[in-house]
Structure 1
Amino acid sequence: MAHWVRFQRSGAAGFGTLEGDTITVHSGNMFNGATPTGERVALAEVELLSPTEPTKVIALWNNFHALAAKLNSPVPADPLYLLKAGSSLTSPGATVRRPASYDGKIVYEGELGIVIGRKATAVSEEEAGDYIFGYTCVNDITAADIINKDATFAQWVRAKSFDGFGPFGPVVATDVDPASLVVRTVLNGEERQRYPISDMVFPAQRLVSRISHDMTLNPGDIICCGTSIGVGTMKAPSNTVEIVIEGIGTLSNTFVQ
């Protein structure tokens, strides 16, 4: 298993593998042919960036049996998803601010993110694992009151694409069995979500395969697997939100009103 990070130091971006508090710097391409440079830097000496630069972020809806049962929603026959704007992405540790144009409810959604490692077009489910680079933590922040504000059109993309509403990271973990993972969301020190990835309607390889038949997936693209029960509102003036997935790490961001 490796934990890949991107970082900024003295105004320049770099990448490497994180072990404990030390980054082994690499050169080349993270997804194909990365080579250690021999340099090692302390985590405390750099600013972590989002671990990839996706061409698109795909976000699933109704992909967990437990949440579907709670909402009395039928289990979908096909993956139900939307695209989040690339401008919504932000780094681990970043402060996310309430949009000036919106005064309604804003919720956290702790999720597992699939990171694509190879260009994928119409791949089979059996092949799909070869196109997955690894997995990361995602907080799919949502301006919930916008979704159904207009009775004629559900505004999912707008609700999820405000600046900063897509933190992910801090690492991409490779050689992980997603079915063994548990997602936890901790809001201001209190656990609000704890659910197993094994409860997904469409497991990781099936998602990659099915979506790759709709659109080409590029290295670095993120598929946010959807969330389960326990989604809630961030109400305090300042909120610390942690998405914790053992085996990957902890994504921590602050949301301020």
Structure 2
Amino acid sequence: MDTWMRFMSSDGGIVFGRVEGGYLHEYESLDQRVPTGAVLSTRALTPLAPCAPGTVIALWNNYHALAAKLDKPVPAHPLFLLKPAGSVIGDGATIRRPVSYAGKIVYEGELGIVIGRRCRNANLADAAASIFGYTIVNDVTAADLINENPHFPQWCRAKGFDTFCCLGPAIVSGFDWQAGSVVTMLDGVERQNYPLADMVFSPAEQVSLISQDLTLEPGDVIACGTSLGVGSIKDGATVTVTIAGIGTLSNTLEATREIEAVAAARTAANAV
């Protein structure tokens, strides 16, 4: 297995490459995996989300256990929504509560598929070959917004706010997803622990079927959906999602005082 990460350098540039022993072996980019020859100490770099997806495809009802709990039939085709590129943050970054929203915010620990090459109408073999590697996702949701309007479920709005797609800390190629599990902790207390082998659609099946609906580009991410144990995050709480073999993704929902400071600043600006 190889571990790939993306960083900001001291001069503000972005570097991507394979990480080994505390050093980044730089490559041109995720889709142009040509080594530049540069070797950089990760101690001098600021970690970012491991890729910059143009699109994040987030699945719903993709685990047998959750489907059974919800009393929903497993779907014949992946059920998904899209999260915007602007929602992506990396490990250690802060989840920001929307100033206009005071309702429940929830975590969803998930496996993420990272696309390595353009993929359209792919069969299973081509879909599997299009997977560059796997990362960790926390698919954050402003849950009260989904059914706020009785005439139109607002899945994309509820899941698409800035900072509502946590990715990282790395992409691991060659990861054996069937042997893995997702463990989500909320302020140190375990909330989710479920096997990835319980997926309805395997990663290759997801890529193949979704590629029949839209073209997948290098760096795009498919969030494979979550299972039992989803819950709310209080302001100031920290969510960590761990998948052994990939790492741990940790993000904190900003504290109430920070939200109040932003709101007060906006009120003052509007009064001028």
**TM-score, normalising length from structure 2?**
0.90
Corresponding residue number in structure 2 for 1:18 = 19
Q: Give the superposition deviation at 1:57.
A: 0.4
Letter in 2 for 1:135: Y
Rounded Cα–Cα distance in structure 1 between residues aligned with 2:124 and 2:27 = 31
Rounded Cα–Cα distance in structure 2 between residues aligned with 1:150 and 1:4 = 41
Q: Secondary structure at the match of 1:68?
A: helix
Rounded Cα–Cα distance in structure 1 between residues aligned with 2:78 and 2:30 = 28
Q: In 2 relative to 1, CA 225–125 (structure 1 residues): closer, same or farther, beyond 3 Å? A: same
Corresponding residue number in structure 2 for 1:248 = 246
Corresponding residue number in structure 2 for 1:58 = 57
**8 A Cα contact 1:184 1:243, kept in partner:** yes
Corresponding residue number in structure 2 for 1:8 = 8
Deviations 1:193-250 (A, max 9, x none): 0001100111100000000011110000000000000000012x31111110001011
Q: Give the superposition deviation at 1:33.
A: 3.0
Structure 2 unaligned regions, length at least 5: 257-272
Q: Secondary structure at the match of 1:123?
A: coil
The answer to whether structure 1 residue 114 and structure 2 residue 123 are counterparts is no
From the two aligned structures, give the one with the greater strand fraction: 1
Letter in 2 for 1:255: L
**TM-score, normalising length from structure 1?**
0.96
Q: Give the superposition deviation at 1:68.
A: 0.6
Letter in 2 for 1:40: L
Deviations 1:21-62 (A, max 9, x none): x12231323333321524231x33211111111110000000
Corresponding residue number in structure 1 for 2:44 = 45
**8 A Cα contact 2:30 2:219, kept in partner:** no
Consecutive aligned runs of 4 or more in structure 1 exceeding 4 Å deviation: none
Deviations 1:124-177 (A, max 9, x none): 012211000000000000000100111111100000011100110110000112
Q: In 2 relative to 1, CA 16–33 (structure 1 residues): closer, same or farther, beyond 3 Å? A: closer
Q: Kindly tell me the number of residue pairs found equivalent between the two proteins.
A: 254
Letter in 1 for 2:113: I
Corresponding residue number in structure 1 for 2:126 = 127
**8 A Cα contact 1:113 1:136, kept in partner:** yes
Structure 1 unaligned regions, length at least 5: none
Corresponding residue number in structure 2 for 1:180 = 179
Q: Give the superposition deviation at 1:96.
A: 1.2
Could you tell which deviates more after superposition, 22-31 or 3-12?
22-31
Corresponding residue number in structure 2 for 1:156 = 155
Corresponding residue number in structure 2 for 1:137 = 136
Percent identity, aligned pairs only, is 51
